[in-house]
């Protein structure tokens, strides 16, 4: 029996969401469109199997095939990123970061991460997150121009002597200098955790420097620029030890420490359907055309940035080197919340976001965050980015004119109709 037959209410909502995705411009930088092959694996019978443990070392029988699936995902991740060890079981990005904390630190240890309001993530030390309550959190910021302040980071690290420094961002439009960041960590005697969740696809596509060889541990989600299902991976170098051997917190032992943190430390059975879909996405990311895709993401972001600058928008750092833009709307006379709602009414999905040293509150900030991964997955290029920049200007200038927004929405649909999405998929 079909979903529509069993549960027409959920089927109708999924159909509405599919229509929204098809007819709108998805511009949240952390969102993307997975391939039909990834969707097929994600919806597979892998979800039926319990497989606590790791390939060849399970607590359940009947795991011979999910062992092969997980080992394939592990091998592909190791090859793609050039690391010794990969754990593909984290349920998502936040649990992956939690596992690293659990593996390498004791409660109360000092952790240094980028402040959420300056582009970081909740798990990098936000006071109301586990990372800011179970651990002593000190936070670094950007300069007023939006660029990471390496000198201030070094001073903070020397003063606070953190056990671990977390580098990564959700709203930082420039590249990371991993060598300089490694030097800061080494001078402070700290482990360096690189959270590349946003830029993993750009790294494997050759569009962003890799932290491999600099960071002690790397975490990443699989569902942003990597264009896979919702999930995560933890990558590191070193050699796993025997399962029952006690190990010290040394870099050579990181693989064992990470694996033990995931299970039995924090998680139970892995999601085998998710692992299968991750394996498919990793295979896709190893194809030559993925490099072309990653390059186009950056070209599109730069083209959009140029258009918005032409229209008098202020961009944090003045532009972008990656997949996202952070727009300061103060000179346009609208707030991030007002712009987000007006853009959504026009068929353009983005999110409100704080800007560095934002004078407004986080739930009603001064900026919006825009990204190009999902647009690029649909096949859009620089010319479309210019037109989208025009749409954004018109929406911001007429954000209170409901009729104008409806008209813009119809023009957005004309554009998206030229880039069909998930043809053949339907729920009702």
Pairing of strands 57-58, 53-54: antiparallel
DSSP 8-class letter at 30: T
Is 52 annotated in the active site?
Answer: yes
Pairing of strands 367-371, 351-353: antiparallel
User: Which residue do the tokens 């712009």 mark?
Assistant: 339
Length of the chain: 428
Handedness of CA 176, 94, 117, 364 (dihedral sign): positive
The angle, 0 to 180 degrees and rounded to 10, between the axes of the packed helices 288-310 and 382-397 is: 40
What is the C-alpha to C-alpha distance for residues 309 and 2, in angstroms, rounded to an integer? Answer: 49
Known binding residue 326? Answer is: no
Buried b (16+ CB within 10 A) or exposed e, 69-106: bbbbbbebbeebbebebbbbbbbebbbbbbbbbbbbbe
Is 292 annotated in the active site?
Answer: no
What is the C-alpha to C-alpha distance for residues 142 and 326, in angstroms, rounded to an integer? Answer: 13
Is 20 annotated in the active site?
Answer: no
Is 174 annotated in the active site?
Answer: no
Is 381 annotated in the active site?
Answer: no
* Residue 164: strand, helix, or coil: strand
Please identify which of the residues 136, 230, 330, 386 carries the catalytic annotation.
230
The angle, 0 to 180 degrees and rounded to 10, between the axes of the packed helices 64-81 and 272-285 is: 30
Please identify which of the residues 23, 50, 67, 143 carries the catalytic annotation.
50
Cα–Cα separations (whole angstroms), residue 203 to 65, 73, 212, 225, 370: 31, 18, 10, 9, 20
Please identify which of the residues 52, 149, 160, 401 carries the catalytic annotation.
52
Using alpha carbons only, what angle is made at residue 273 by residues 99 and 73, rounded to the nearest 5 degrees?
65
**Calculated CA dihedral for residues 220, 194, 327, 148, nearest 10 degrees:** 180
Could you tell me the two tokens for 264? 């039995």
Could you tell me the two tokens for 317? 């750092």
User: What are the DSSP E strand ranges found in 95-185?
Assistant: 110-114, 136-140, 164-167
Please identify which of the residues 26, 195, 216, 340 carries the catalytic annotation.
195
**Which sequence positions are flagged as catalytic?**
50, 52, 195, 221, 224, 230
Known binding-site positions for (6S)-5,6,7,8-tetrahydrofolate: 116
Known binding-site positions: 116
């Amino acid at each position: 029996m079909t979903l529509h037959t069993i549960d027409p209410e959920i089927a109708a909502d999924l159909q509405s969401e599919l229509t929204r995705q098809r007819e709108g411009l998805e511009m949240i930088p952390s969102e993307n469109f997975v391939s039909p092959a990834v969707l097929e694996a994600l919806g597979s019978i892998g979800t039926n199997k319990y497989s606590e443990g790791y390939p060849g070392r399970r607590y359940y029988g009947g795991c011979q095939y999910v062992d092969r699936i997980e080992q394939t995902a592990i091998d592909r991740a190791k090859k793609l990123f050039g690391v010794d060890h990969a754990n593909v079981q984290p349920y998502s990005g936040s649990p992956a970061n939690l596992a690293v904390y659990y593996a390498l630190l004791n409660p109360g240890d000092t952790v240094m991460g980028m402040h959420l309001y300056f582009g970081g993530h909740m798990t990098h030390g936000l006071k109301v997150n586990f990372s800011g309550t179970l651990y002593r959190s000190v936070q670094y910021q950007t300069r007023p121009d939006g660029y990471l302040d390496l000198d201030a980071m070094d001073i903070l690290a020397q003063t606070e002597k953190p056990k671990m420094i977390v580098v990564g961002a959700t709203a930082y439009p420039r590249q990371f200098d991993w060598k300089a960041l490694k030097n800061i960590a080494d001078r402070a005697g700290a482990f360096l955790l690189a959270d590349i969740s946003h830029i993993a696809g750009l790294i494997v596509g050759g569009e962003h420097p890799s932290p491999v060889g600099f960071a002690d541990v790397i975490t990443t989600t699989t569902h942003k620029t990597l264009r896979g299902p919702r999930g995560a991976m933890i990558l590191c170098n070193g050699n796993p030890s025997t399962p029952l051997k006690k190990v010290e917190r040394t870099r050579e032992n990181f693989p064992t420490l990470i694996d033990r943190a995931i299970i039995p430390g924090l998680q139970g059975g892995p999601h085998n359907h998710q692992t299968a879909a991750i394996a498919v996405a990793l295979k896709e990311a190893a194809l030559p055309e993925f490099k072309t895709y990653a390059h186009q993401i950056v070209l599109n972001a730069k083209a959009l940035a140029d258009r918005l600058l032409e229209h008098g928008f202020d961009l944090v750092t003045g532009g972008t080197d990656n997949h996202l833009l952070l727009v300061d709307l103060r000179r346009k006379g609208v707030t991030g919340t007002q712009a987000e709602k007006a853009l959504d009414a026009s068929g353009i999905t983005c999110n409100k976001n704080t800007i560095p040293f934002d004078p407004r509150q986080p739930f009603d900030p001064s900026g919006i965050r825009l990204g190009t991964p999902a647009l690029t997955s649909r096949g859009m290029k620089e010319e479309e980015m210019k037109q989208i920049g025009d749409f954004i200007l018109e929406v911001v200038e007429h954000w209170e004119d409901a009729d104008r927004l409806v008209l813009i929405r119809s023009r957005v649909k004309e554009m998206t109709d030229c880039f069909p999405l998930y043809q053949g998929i339907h729920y009702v």
